[in-house]
Amino acid sequence: QVQLVESGGGLVQPGGSLRLSCAASESIFIFYAMGWYRQAPGKQRELVAGITSGGAITDYADSVKGRFTISRDNAKNTLYLQMNSLKPEDTAVYYCNRKVVYWDWGQGTQVTVSS
C-alpha cells in the first residue's frame, strides 16, 4: 500500500506563504489524480485542490482559488501545494491523497495562520 508523508506546515502570519510537500512511497503514484485536503477542528475534511496524473489539469476550491497552487513531480513521487496570502481560516491539518478512492491517510501537516 502506498504511504503518504506530508510536510512543510507551520505557523505563519496572515498574508504569509507556505509550501507543503507530500511524498509517496511508491511510483504507482504517477498513475493517479491526487488532491490536497484539509480538516479544521470540528469540521469535515474538504478537498482544496486537485491535479490530474500528469499534472496538466488542476482545480481548486473556491475558498483557495487564486491563492493556492497544486503541482506534482512524478519523477520524485511528490505532490506540492504552494499557499500564498494565507488567512486564519486556512488553519487546518493538510493531507494529500488520491481523489474519490483513497489510500491510507498520512499524519498530515499542521498549518496555523495567526498573528
Q: pLDDT tens digits for 39-81?
A: 999 999 999 999 999 999 999 999 999 999 999 999 999 999 9
Q: What is the pLDDT of residue 87?
A: 98
Stated as kind and residue range, the H or E segment containing 60 is strand 58-60
Mean pLDDT of the chain: 97
Q: What is the pLDDT of residue 100?
A: 85
Residue that is written with C-alpha cell 510536510 in the block: 7
Q: What is the pLDDT of residue 12?
A: 98
Q: How far apart are CA 57 and CA 78, in angstroms?
A: 16
Q: What is the pLDDT of residue 107?
A: 98
Whether the pLDDT of residue 1 is over 90: the answer is no
Contact between 106 and 5 (Cβ < 8 Å): yes
Q: Among 1, 8, 46, which residue's Cα sits nearest to residue 26?
A: 1
Q: How far apart are CA 67 and CA 17, in angstroms?
A: 9
Q: How far apart are CA 69 and CA 55, in angstroms?
A: 12
